[in-house]
Amino acid sequence: GQNIDQPTEMTATEGAIVQINCTYQTSGFNGLFWYQQHAGEAPTFLSYNVLDGLEEKGRFSSFLSRSKGYSYLLLKELQMKDSASYLCAVRRNTDKLIFGTGTRLQVFP
Amino acid sequence: GAGVSQSPSNKVTEKGKDVELRCDPISGHTALYWYRQRLGQGLEFLIYFQGNSAPDKSGLPSDRFSAERTGESVSTLTIQRTQQEDSAVYLCASSPWDYYNEQFFGPGTRLTVL
């Protein structure tokens, strides 16, 4: 089977750094995605990891450890517009994504 | 360029009625996915298409749910005899089916079953 765990909610202050963790158990692992979803909108792609290590993209970075079944999304220099849900999704084999329930991040001034 | 579009954006129906939801993927994207998202919850995989074939229907919750895709383009998700628990946002995504396989999501159809 598959299981993906993320914290339900997190809060942080504008300008700070926040790390959102995701742990997973799945067979046929073939990559991990992070998506951002603002309330009432569709998810948008943030990052993709298939090899161990850190992928950096501007203010956002994503890390993967396949042996530990663990990933995190790091958001730096937080802005108010970063308030959203962050969805961790694992790709099984070569096709579908299995999504976690998402982490709702609230950024305060 | 045009993204994934879905129609209708909102649908209110009475319990027991059938509904049809439409998805127009990005042109040239061979893979198409349907997800359901209940209020405050994550995305629940329903079905995916590679071309016009559906290799994985494992997420369809019951035989009231069906989907088809034609011309390797538009897809329709049909829910028969709707129930209140079917109320959710139904999201469609398409992908170019390369190694990267990033999925591009449409705006969703919000279905409310009274």
Q: Residues A33-77: pLDDT tens digits?
A: 999 999 888 899 999 999 999 999 899 999 999 999 999 999 999
Query: Where does the pLDDT of residue B22 fall: very low under 50, low under 70, confident under 90, or very high at 90 and above?
Result: very high
* Tokens representing residue A16 in the block: 């700070």
The C-alpha atoms of residue B61 and residue A104 are separated, in whole angstroms, by: 26
Burial of A68 (0-12, 13-18, 19+ CB in 10 A): exposed
Burial of A102 (0-12, 13-18, 19+ CB in 10 A): buried
pLDDT for A40 = 84
Highest mean pLDDT among B20-29, B41-50, B95-104: B20-29
* Count helices and strands in chain A by DSSP H and E runs: 0, 11
pLDDT for A28 = 83
**Distance set, CA B12 to CA B42, B86, B96 (Å):** 22, 11, 32
pLDDT for A30 = 87
Put simply, the answer to whether B33 touches A97 (Cβ < 8 Å) is yes
Which residues of A fall within a CB distance of 8 Å from B44?
99
Which residues of B fall within a CB distance of 8 Å from A45?
102-104
Put simply, the answer to whether B102 touches A45 (Cβ < 8 Å) is yes
Does B5 touch chain A if contact means CB atoms closer than 8 Å? no
Reduce the DSSP state of residue B85 to 3 states and report it. Answer: helix
pLDDT for A98 = 86
Q: Which residue has the tokens 């991990």?
A: A32
pLDDT for B88 = 96
